[in-house]
Structure 1
Amino acid sequence: MTDLRSYRAPWWLPGGHLQTIWPTLFAQPRPSQAITLVRERWRAPDGDFVDVDHLSGAKDAPWLVVFHGLEGSSSSRYAIAFAQGALARGWRLSIPHFRGCSGELNLAPRSYHSGDFQEVGWLLARIRDRASAPVLAAGVSLGGNALLRWAEEAGSGAAEIARAVAAVSAPLDLVAAGAAIDSGINRLIYTRHFLRTMIPNALAKWQQHPGLFDRERVQRATTLREFDDAFTAPLHGFAGVDDYWTRASAKPHLHKIKIPALVVNARNDPFVPAASLPTPDEAGAMVTLWQPEQGGHVGFATNPWPGRVTAMPEAVSDWLGSILDG
């Protein structure tokens, strides 16, 4: 089984920033190398729609569900790598899109957030109803935290839906992660990058539902904290950003997970401070922690040049597969 605990980045990718940025922009697989997925539009319980991309397979094949990260999609390089790996293994695959991330603005007066465990639970249950074999789930960054929150909230009932879950580069302590991404060079690089799409998407939501939130506050936001306080929190029933970040964080509830769970965090992740990562005692008996010294945020690139981002999806899929075999 491939294991990321001993991961070391190529010599030409020193430091957490390069290990984060380079794989996102330049590593393989490129979007042009993506395999064809079939999109299906599901009607959500609130009447809105959710777009889900599928890779078909044998009826008795394991079914892997991948939840993307902040502003991600099935076109993200890690998602393409997961899909390629599923095809090679003969697994079925589904990549649901969080609201507004499939290329079309969703309809309801809501978006998505790091603690969106109810949405995750509905999506997994719908796939479980279709599957004739075990369902496995992996979440990346925001999607990883939301997936863990679902497993925590579901408790022993999670086993009726999924055999095992895995989270990669999840911001398990959103207060610590939010402070990190909004500080220093992180704010100049990553916060600016995310807000470049998040603010226009939020303003489009305001055009759909005028008065839904304070439009001027969103327009003025220069940090994720300001954006989440003005937009994400009020849209999803939180009292404010502190209430949102506290209640949505997976770290305090890891010990409640009752199915096998893998939690992967590089200790040089610019978004997720190493000091905020859980210890084995905090994680609980069902949680396996991989915390390599290197890897960046959803990076884990390997040789040859210009790098490949397949190591992480392969390792996560290997681990999930080992649960089935065990």
Structure 2
Amino acid sequence: MAFEPWTSSSGLLVLWVLSSIVFFYAPSVLWMQPRASSPFVELYYSTASAVLSQDPASVADGDASPVTLAQLVKRKVRAFSPEAGFNGVWWLPSGHAQTIYCSVGDFSKVDPIAYERKLLQLIDGGIIAIDVTPPLADQPAHSGERVLLVAHGLTGGSHESYVRAALTRLTASEKSGGLGFRAVVVNYRGCNGCPVRTPKLYHAGSSDDIRPVALWVCRTFPDCSMYGIGFSLGANIMTKYAGEEGEDCPLSGMVVLANVWDFVKGSHHIERGTLANRLLYQNVLGGALRALLQLHQDVFLSAPSPPLSRELLARIFRKWIVSLREYDEMVTAPLYGFKDAADYYYSISSSRFVERIRIPCLAINSLDDPIVGKSNLPLSQVSRSPWVVLAATRSGGHMGWFARSDTGERGVLERWYVRPLEQFFAALLEHGLRKRPVPEIDIDGEGFLRQRGRPAVEFIEIVPGAADTVVSGTKESRLFSGW
């Protein structure tokens, strides 16, 4: 989790971009932040916060006492206390700097994690790659495990530094001070080496691809307690998934970080915000998605009934710069059945599903996030949702939260968000939550596993065809691969 400052190979261009953002935009961003004397974290929650039920087997006679979600967060997540604060560094003074460093920093030598890869073929023929740590080859599955279902950010994967920073702590054994989780990272279609067999990738609301992975977890780890983590785009997907499932959600709890929440407001923030938003971020985001599409263009071009015409693909690949809205208007909307980009943004916004969540959910956003504006935060919905607590931090950027390490070693940084994430899950485990409903599974004649009563949720595990244990940490890690 701790690491030394970067020495990036990106050279003078990276230094120029970073210094330009810091020196031209840091003053305005800092001016908009609350005064330093104000708390680093502001908590938002419903006055009717949900009382957390307990598993009778984990409670001694007479020891059970009602605890609400809000009470648990305030009592147990010490990183949110006024005394804890945030020990930032002078050379990352703004949300822009924190965000850009997440993309240009060198994290290849920190938090290496060994994963075992599994491939799931879904009902439409598409492939989902899931990376499991600790690998099953080293630590076979057993009944009653604690399992994390992890959803990464835009065009990312299990190799991303923000994923590894969290899993290094959470999957460490209890003997070594960790929580002893098994983690299952979902690599979306086409991301991080996931094969693409059909002309379909993923989008910011692809919760349908989470369901078969959750089914695989329930099948592979009998009687497990499953929890969720979502980062950025993955936070939106995970939140939407939990809201759609409602009372039937198999997750016992989840944490979502840097969620965009409302893509309608988010698109306005990106397109009409600061000069950095208009010239940098919206084009980086669009470029990242185009790069992924271009990587897998042969599958789209060779499809018997191409969902995107050759002319359209040629036009989008010829463009020097592609903004996020341009990509979503030209590719995402027609590819996934939305009328246009506006319809897509409205339909997949997880803010619409907040009030349907029925599991403990901790959301963490930074108020100086240049990609997620303050108006994106669903404060009204959270006030009506007993199951959600939203923590708004004064700074941290988009998936940054880089702070000085508590070790006191000069120049060593850590990702602050790992602390509240770990403390929240530890509190839920200590509380002893009542078991969640487990989906029943049927097997058809071809070996596909299907959720009973939901024929669209099915998969079959296929052999990767190569060494399935990889070490993540040596691969290039960027917040947006199109940077």
Q: Which residue of 1 is the match for residue 417 of structure 2?
A: 312
Q: Which residue of 1 is the match for residue 256 of structure 2?
A: 167
Task: Give, in whole Å, the separation in 2 of the partners of 1:31 and 1:237.
Answer: 42
Q: Which residue of 1 is the match for residue 214 of structure 2?
A: 124
Comparing 120-129 and 88-97, the one that deviates more: 120-129
User: Can you list the C-alpha shifts for 1:164-195, whole angstroms capped at 9, x where unaligned?
Assistant: 11110011011122232344212433333334
Q: Which residue of 1 is the match for residue 403 of structure 2?
A: 302
Counterpart amino acid of 1:136?
A: Y
Q: Does the CA-based 8 Å contact 2:147-2:183 persist in structure 1?
A: yes
3-state SS of 1:100 partner: coil
Q: Does the CA-based 8 Å contact 1:169-1:272 persist in structure 2?
A: yes
Q: Does the CA-based 8 Å contact 1:77-1:309 persist in structure 2?
A: no
Counterpart amino acid of 2:394?
A: E
- 1:216: Cα distance to partner? 4.3
Q: Does the CA-based 8 Å contact 2:127-2:195 persist in structure 1?
A: no
Aligned residue runs from structure 1 range 133-282, under 5 A:
133-158=224-249, 161-183=250-272, 184-210=275-301, 211-213=306-308, 214-219=312-317, 220=319, 222-279=322-379, 282=382
3-state SS of 1:208 partner: helix
Q: Which residue of 1 is the match for residue 478 of structure 2?
A: none
Aligned pair in 2 of structure 1 residues 231, 135: CA closer, same or farther (>3 Å)? same
User: Can you list the C-alpha shifts for 1:261-298, whole angstroms capped at 9, x where unaligned?
Assistant: 11111011001101221216545110011011111100
3-state SS of 1:53 partner: strand
Counterpart amino acid of 2:190?
A: G
Task: Give, in whole Å, the separation in 1 of the partners of 2:164 and 2:339.
Answer: 37
* Percent identical: 25
Counterpart amino acid of 2:160?
A: S
Task: Give, in whole Å, the separation in 2 of the partners of 1:247 and 1:169.
Answer: 19
Q: Does the CA-based 8 Å contact 2:187-2:194 persist in structure 1?
A: no
- 1:218: Cα distance to partner? 2.7
Task: Give, in whole Å, the separation in 2 of the partners of 1:193 and 1:44.
Answer: 30
Comparing 134-143 and 51-60, the one that deviates more: 51-60
Aligned pair in 2 of structure 1 residues 2, 69: CA closer, same or farther (>3 Å)? farther
3-state SS of 1:50 partner: strand
Counterpart amino acid of 2:403?
A: T
User: Can you list the C-alpha shifts for 1:95-130, whole angstroms capped at 9, x where unaligned?
Assistant: 110111022451112111111111112212221222
Aligned CA RMSD, in angstroms, stands at 2.2
Q: Does the CA-based 8 Å contact 2:111-2:165 persist in structure 1?
A: no
- 1:4: Cα distance to partner? 4.8
- 1:251: Cα distance to partner? 0.9
Counterpart amino acid of 1:145?
A: N
1:322 aligns with 2:424: no
Counterpart amino acid of 2:206?
A: D
Task: Give, in whole Å, the separation in 2 of the partners of 1:281 and 1:240.
Answer: 26
Aligned pair in 2 of structure 1 residues 73, 5: CA closer, same or farther (>3 Å)? farther
Counterpart amino acid of 1:16?
A: G
Aligned pair in 2 of structure 1 residues 31, 226: CA closer, same or farther (>3 Å)? farther
Task: Give, in whole Å, the separation in 2 of the partners of 1:259 and 1:266.
Answer: 23
Counterpart amino acid of 1:133?
A: C
3-state SS of 2:413 partner: coil
Aligned pair in 2 of structure 1 residues 98, 263: CA closer, same or farther (>3 Å)? same
Q: Which residue of 2 is the match for residue 20 of structure 1?
A: 99
Aligned pair in 2 of structure 1 residues 104, 62: CA closer, same or farther (>3 Å)? closer
1 or 2, which has the higher helix percentage? Answer: 1
Counterpart amino acid of 2:298?
A: Q
- 1:140: Cα distance to partner? 0.3
- 1:69: Cα distance to partner? 0.3
- 1:91: Cα distance to partner? 1.2
- Unaligned runs of 5+ residues in structure 2 are 1-76, 173-177, 432-483
Task: Give, in whole Å, the separation in 2 of the partners of 1:25 and 1:209.
Answer: 31
User: Can you list the C-alpha shifts for 1:143-169, whole angstroms capped at 9, x where unaligned?
Assistant: 0000000011111111xx110111100
Q: Which residue of 1 is the match for residue 64 of structure 2?
A: none
Look at both structures and tell me which one has the larger radius of gyration over its CA atoms: 2
- 1:198: Cα distance to partner? 2.2
Q: Which residue of 1 is the match for residue 466 of structure 2?
A: none
Query: Stretches of 4+ moved more than 4 A in 1?
Result: 4-7, 304-307
1:289 aligns with 2:378: no
Q: Does the CA-based 8 Å contact 1:31-1:76 persist in structure 2?
A: no
Counterpart amino acid of 1:111?
A: L
User: Can you list the C-alpha shifts for 1:226-246, whole angstroms capped at 9, x where unaligned?
Assistant: 101111122112111111100
- 1:306: Cα distance to partner? 5.0
User: Can you list the C-alpha shifts for 1:60-81, whole angstroms capped at 9, x where unaligned?
Assistant: 3311121000011111101111
TM-score w.r.t. structure 1 length? 0.91
Comparing 275-284 and 122-131, the one that deviates more: 275-284
Aligned pair in 2 of structure 1 residues 307, 207: CA closer, same or farther (>3 Å)? same
Aligned pair in 2 of structure 1 residues 167, 208: CA closer, same or farther (>3 Å)? same
Equivalenced residue count is: 323
Counterpart amino acid of 2:187?
A: H
- Unaligned runs of 5+ residues in structure 1 are none
Task: Give, in whole Å, the separation in 2 of the partners of 1:33 and 1:253.
Answer: 34
Task: Give, in whole Å, the separation in 2 of the partners of 1:26 and 1:205.
Answer: 27
Aligned pair in 2 of structure 1 residues 200, 276: CA closer, same or farther (>3 Å)? closer
Comparing 295-304 and 314-323, the one that deviates more: 314-323
